[in-house]
């Protein structure tokens, strides 16, 4: 049975993952304790032999061998080899789960397209879904040891109600050298075509939709079968296994605690060496991590076995058959009474909250990360960073969005400013003749922005006296002609 601990890690809290370390079922301790005992036994035997049975000359030779093995163990790229391998195995494990055929989409299409309240219509819908479930049972029986233990022969499939006696005879009469899980899908298509001829399926569009969903369902059955057929490359599994085992074989020899070849004389203190421990703690941690990583890949490389974390294929079969028959039989045409909903006529619908979830209703809706950002604040920050007033193109909001508010575009900085052309007589006359109302309208409208390729002209500021003289000059003409 699959080990589920999702509720335990729903909220991050102190010691959240630490509480999972004391579980036995589905744990790394259950997978690894036998290999760990073998490693400790071999390490202990070699340690006792080195300490008690070897002569000083033999100990000196063994020390040289141990140093060589310790250096050689560090040359094996364990993290790279194991990391890549386990990543590919996990991706394959999840892809196999997604390839398990589920009849949920197909049963909805059958309910909507195959009509009839009589016994014939009911029999058509139930038989169509039974054929679909039979196909999944046959393919799961071919890839899962749990399902094969439940249905060891076709007779057990007939006894379970997935196949009738007549269907068994037709199934066994078709001789093929390959797996015949696809036969119920062909029966499905023939029965759907017969329902179309009888008018139970009302048009060809509905029939096409029904067959399209069946093809997707059959495609998952085929994909699941091919995942079982095409295994993960054996050579890579062998490489990883040899790398792990050879690494710890070197560790058994090279991680022994060696004696000092020149012990100090009596009454003298020798140099401080390595601490002599009978149990190599850091080596045990390495064994726990690397060998545990390999055991994880070994467990999930085929999730259709009988390990603690393998897929519950038998429960999936029971669930699929029950749900599909309920949807096309008991629920066909069964609708609750329709009426006005609770929020009829309300413009802003707001479902209620309980006391425990009332705090969620006080949070404002997310409108975007830049919703509360103001352009003036951006210009102010850009000016503070540059230490100089922003140029004219940065003060223009539309151009500032395209050109950026921090620095001008290289195309602007490299362009040579144009020379002012001589004004014509008509332009001079028009500039000298005041137009009634234009001065006042010009004061109300903002000044036009400078061209991108020109420097912004500096306009001299008028004092209070000059502004009053300008207003007196414009006043007579503005009284005679109405302003815009």
pLDDT of residue 437: 45
Between the ranges 7-11, 103-107, 255-259, 402-406, where is the mean pLDDT highest? 103-107
User: What does the DSSP 8-state code read for residue 80?
Assistant: H
Residue 219 dihedral angles phi and psi, to the nearest 5°: -65, -35
Q: What angle do CA 93, 99, 101 make, to 5 degrees?
A: 140
* Res. 181 pLDDT band, cuts 50 70 90: very high
pLDDT of residue 278: 80
pLDDT of residue 391: 56
In-domain check, residue 136 = yes
In-domain check, residue 59 = no
* Residue 288 in this model has a pLDDT that exceeds 70: yes
Dist CA 382 CA 390 (whole Å)? 8
245: Cβ–Cβ under 8 A, 6 or more apart, which residues? none
* Residue 171 in this model has a pLDDT that exceeds 80: yes
* Residue 105 in this model has a pLDDT that exceeds 50: yes
**201-213 pLDDT tens trace:** 999 999 999 999 9
Between the ranges 250-264, 334-348, 385-399, 421-435, where is the mean pLDDT highest? 334-348
Average pLDDT of the segment spanning 359-379:
79
In-domain check, residue 199 = yes
More confident residue, 15 or 133: 133
More confident residue, 428 or 386: 386
* Res. 370 pLDDT band, cuts 50 70 90: confident
Burial 323-348 (b: 16+ CB within 10 A, else e): ebbebbeeebeeeeeeeeeeeeeeee
Torsion of CA 431, 436, 440, 443, to 10 degrees: -20
Domain count of the fold of the chain: 1
Helix locations, 144-264, DSSP H: 145-150, 154-159, 165-173, 183-197, 204-229, 234-254
Of 239, 191, 244, residue with least CA distance to 32? 244
Which of 14-18, 128-132, 149-153, 172-176 is least confident?
14-18
In-domain check, residue 460 = no
* Res. 483 pLDDT band, cuts 50 70 90: very low
Between the ranges 326-340, 359-373, 436-450, 455-469, where is the mean pLDDT highest? 326-340
Q: What angle do CA 238, 243, 247 make, to 5 degrees?
A: 150
* Res. 447 pLDDT band, cuts 50 70 90: very low
Average pLDDT of the segment spanning 291-316:
93
Dist CA 391 CA 406 (whole Å)? 10
In-domain check, residue 219 = yes
* Residue 476 in this model has a pLDDT that exceeds 70: no
**Average pLDDT, rounded, for the chain:** 82
Which of 23-32, 95-104, 225-234, 422-431 is least confident?
422-431
* Residue 415 in this model has a pLDDT that exceeds 90: no
pLDDT of residue 10: 87
| Residue 343, CA distances (Å) to 53, 325, 336, 338, 346 in order | 88, 34, 18, 14, 6
Dist CA 130 CA 387 (whole Å)? 77
* Residue 106 in this model has a pLDDT that exceeds 60: yes
* Residue 431 in this model has a pLDDT that exceeds 60: no
End-to-end CA separation in angstroms for the chain:
84
**266-281 pLDDT tens trace:** 555 544 456 777 888 9
pLDDT of residue 45: 94
Dist CA 270 CA 260 (whole Å)? 10
In-domain check, residue 114 = yes
pLDDT of residue 477: 44
Q: Does an H or E element contain 282, and which?
A: helix 281-300
More confident residue, 81 or 400: 81
Position of tokens 């096309």? 328
pLDDT of residue 180: 95
In-domain check, residue 194 = yes
pLDDT of residue 280: 87
Contact 106, 213 (CB under 8 A): yes
pLDDT of residue 104: 95
Average pLDDT of the segment spanning 222-226:
96
Average pLDDT of the segment spanning 128-150:
96
Residue 229 dihedral angles phi and psi, to the nearest 5°: -75, -50
DSSP string, 312-381: -HHHHHHHHHHHHHIIIIITTT--PPP---TTTT-SS------STTHHHHTSPPP--TTTT--HHHHHHH
Dist CA 460 CA 444 (whole Å)? 18
In-domain check, residue 252 = no
Average pLDDT of the segment spanning 331-348:
90
Which of 51-60, 118-127, 215-224 is least confident?
51-60
Q: Is the dihedral of CA 35, 37, 38, 44 positive or negative?
A: positive
| Residue 83, CA distances (Å) to 86, 90, 100, 391 in order | 5, 11, 27, 54
Burial 156-194 (b: 16+ CB within 10 A, else e): ebbeeebbeeebeeebeeeeeeebebbbbbebbbebbee
More confident residue, 156 or 265: 156
Range of the domain at 112: 98-229
More confident residue, 463 or 38: 38
Burial grade of 101 (CB within 10 A; 0-12, 13-18, 19 or more): buried
């Amino acid at each position: 049975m699959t080990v589920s601990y999702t509720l335990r890690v729903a909220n991050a809290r102190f010691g959240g993952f630490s509480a999972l370390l004391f579980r036995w079922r589905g744990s790394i301790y259950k997978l690894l304790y036998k290999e760990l005992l073998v490693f400790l036994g071999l390490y202990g035997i070699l340690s006792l032999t080195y300490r008690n049975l070897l002569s000083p000359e033999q100990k000196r030779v063994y020390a040289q061998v141990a140093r060589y093995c310790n250096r050689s163990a560090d040359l094996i790229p364990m993290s790279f080899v194991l990391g890549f391998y386990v990543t590919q195995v996990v991706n394959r494990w999840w892809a196999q789960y997604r390839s398990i055929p589920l009849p949920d989409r197909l049963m909805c299409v059958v309910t909507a397209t195959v009509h009839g309240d009589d016994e014939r219509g009911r029999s058509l819908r139930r038989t169509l879904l039974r054929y679909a479930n039979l196909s999944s049972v046959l393919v799961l029986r071919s890839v899962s040891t749990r399902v094969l233990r439940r249905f060891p022969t076709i007779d057990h499939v007939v006894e379970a109600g997935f196949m009738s006696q007549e269907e068994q005879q037709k199934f066994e009469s078709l001789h093929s050298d390959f797996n015949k899980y696809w036969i119920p899908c062909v029966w499905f298509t023939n029965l759907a075509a017969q329902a179309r001829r009888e008018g139970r399926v009302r048009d060809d569009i509905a029939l096409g939709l029904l067959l399209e969903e069946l093809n997707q369902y059959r495609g998952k059955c085929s994909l699941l079968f091919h995942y079982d057929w095409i295994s993960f490359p054996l050579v890579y599994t062998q490489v990883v296994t040899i790398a792990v085992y050879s690494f710890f074989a070197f560790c058994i020899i090279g991680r022994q605690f060696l004696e000092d070849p020149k012990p100090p004389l009596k009454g003298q203190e020798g140099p401080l060496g390595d601490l002599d421990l009978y149990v190599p703690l850091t080596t045990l941690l390495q064994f726990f991590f690397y060998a545990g990583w390999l055991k994880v890949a070994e467990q999930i490389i085929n999730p259709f076995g009988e390990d603690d974390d393998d897929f519950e294929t038998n429960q999936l079969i029971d669930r699929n058959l029950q749900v599909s028959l309920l949807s096309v039989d008991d629920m066909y045409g069964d609708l609750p009474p329709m009426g006005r909903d609770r929020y009829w006529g309300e413009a802003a619908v707001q479902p209620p909250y309980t006391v425990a979830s009332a705090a969620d209703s006080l949070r404002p809706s997310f409108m975007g990360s830049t919703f509360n950002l103001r352009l003036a604040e951006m210009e102010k920050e850009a000016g503070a960073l540059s230490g100089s007033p922003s140029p004219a193109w940065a003060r223009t909001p539309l151009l500032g969005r395209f050109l950026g508010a921090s620095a001008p575009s290289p195309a602007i900085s490299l362009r040579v400013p144009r020379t002012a052309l001589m004004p014509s007589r008509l332009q001079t006359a028009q500039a000298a003749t005041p137009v009634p109302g234009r001065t006042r309208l010009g004061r109300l409208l903002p000044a036009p922005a400078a061209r991108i390729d020109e420097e912004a002209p500096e306009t001299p500021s008028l004092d209070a006296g000059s502004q009053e003289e300008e207003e007196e000059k414009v006043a007579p003409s503005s009284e005679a002609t109405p302003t815009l």
